[in-house]
């Protein structure tokens, strides 16, 4: 299987603090990989480097074979991303926001209009599509974040704690949406929620202090450590 994301010897320093330490891993096409790790493990930093938001101190990242550092625009055209808890321009409505982002991605008017309707329906924001975002709750903004990530139908989804701020029903709906999208896309998904990762992903990478501790199929991880939770705790130095 071709590789959608390739991370080679990636390191990132914030001044003297080493956030990612010589990380290497590959995500094959159409696989759904969960990136697990405690706070400060380097999950968000890794995803931000993939999305070109921060520069690596050393190492390389490729998306669909394109170097993020050398050709960021080409690499980003293959990605749909939700990083942290993003904010939107409060003076725009969801429709206008998606129209702006779609135009920036070069989507043609007719196709863009249809896609906007489709993704707004998928994230259940139909009733709010013409209302300015200044009135939106955190959960509604997260739904819109997913809508913009799916808008251009990218082959790769990069998601950093995408269900943060959602109510329990929203979390369930969100998982279903990502699971559905994951059937035909590569999903690289950082989370603290083991249940969420187990439901959406078929593989998991566990990192701590910027190091890759394990990267395997969830079924094999469960077989080796009895459960994903047990694997996580043992590998990250929690309960043995």
Partner 1 sequence: MSEFDKLRVVTGYEFLKHIRRRRLYIILGLTVLVEAAVLIAVPLLMDGYPDNVMVMAAMLSIGPSLATIGAVFFAGDAIAGEFEGKTGFILFTNPVRRTTLVTGKYLAGLAAVVLLIILGYVIVSISLLVIYGTVPVETAESFGLCLLYGGAVLSVTFFFSSISKGSMGATVITLVFIMVVSSVIDGILVMADKPHWFLLSTNGDSIATVYGGYELFLEGLPMGGRNIPSGWMENPDISLMILSMVIYLVAGFVLSVLISRRRQLA
* Binding region for partner 1 (CB under 8 A): 14, 45, 48, 51-55, 72-74, 76-77, 79, 81, 83-89, 91-92, 96, 100-101, 103-106, 145, 148
**Cβ proximity to partner 1, 141 vs 209, nearer residue:** 141
Mapped onto helix, strand or coil, the DSSP state of residue 84 is coil
**Cβ proximity to partner 1, 164 vs 221, nearer residue:** 164
- Output the smallest distance, CB 68 to partner 1, in A: 11
**Cβ proximity to partner 1, 73 vs 184, nearer residue:** 73
Q: Which value, in Å, is the radius of gyration of the alpha carbons in the chain?
A: 18
**Cβ proximity to partner 1, 83 vs 213, nearer residue:** 83
Q: How far apart are CA 187 and CA 143, in angstroms?
A: 17
**Cβ proximity to partner 1, 38 vs 72, nearer residue:** 72
Q: In the chain, where do the E strands start and end?
A: 3-14, 17-28, 32-36, 58-63, 66-67, 79-82, 156-160, 186-191, 203-208, 211-217
Mapped onto helix, strand or coil, the DSSP state of residue 79 is strand
Whether residue 202 contacts residue 31, with contact meaning beta carbons closer than 8 Å, is answered with yes
Q: What is the largest CA-CA distance in the chain?
A: 56
Residues 6+ apart with CB under 8 A from 32: 182, 186, 187, 189, 200, 201, 202, 203
- Output the smallest distance, CB 63 to partner 1, in A: 11
- Output the smallest distance, CB 228 to partner 1, in A: 28
- Output the smallest distance, CB 103 to partner 1, in A: 5
- Output the smallest distance, CB 113 to partner 1, in A: 15
**Cβ proximity to partner 1, 55 vs 121, nearer residue:** 55
- Output the smallest distance, CB 32 to partner 1, in A: 20
Q: How far apart are CA 169 and CA 155, in angstroms?
A: 27
């Amino acid at each position: 299987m071709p590789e959608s994301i390739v991370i080679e010897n990636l390191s990132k320093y914030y001044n003297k603090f080493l956030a990612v330490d010589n990380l290497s891993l590959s995500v094959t096409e159409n696989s759904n990989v969960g990136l697990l790790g405690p706070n400060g493990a380097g999950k968000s930093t890794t995803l931000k480097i993939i999305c070109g938001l921060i520069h690596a101190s050393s190492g390389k990242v490729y998306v669909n074979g394109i170097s993020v550092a050398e050709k960021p625009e080409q690499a980003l055209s293959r990605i749909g991303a939700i990083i942290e808890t993003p904010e939107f321009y409060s003076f725009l409505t969801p429709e206008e926001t998606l129209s702006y982002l779609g135009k920036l991605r070069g989507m043609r008017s007719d196709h863009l209009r249809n896609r906007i309707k489709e993704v707004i329906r998928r994230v259940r924001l139909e009733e709010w599509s013409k209302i300015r975002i200044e009135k939106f709750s955190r959960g509604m903004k997260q739904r819109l974040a997913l809508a913009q990530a799916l808008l251009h139908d990218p082959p790769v989804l990069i998601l950093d704690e995408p269900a943060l701020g959602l109510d329990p029903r929203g979390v369930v709906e969100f998982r279903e949406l990502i699971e559905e999208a994951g059937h035909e896309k590569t999903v690289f998904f950082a989370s603290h929620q083991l249940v969420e990762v187990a439901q959406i992903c078929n593989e998991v990478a566990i990192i701590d202090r910027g190091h890759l501790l394990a990267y395997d199929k969830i079924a094999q991880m469960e077989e080796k450590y009895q459960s994903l939770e047990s694997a996580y705790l043992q590998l990250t130095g929690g309960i043995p």
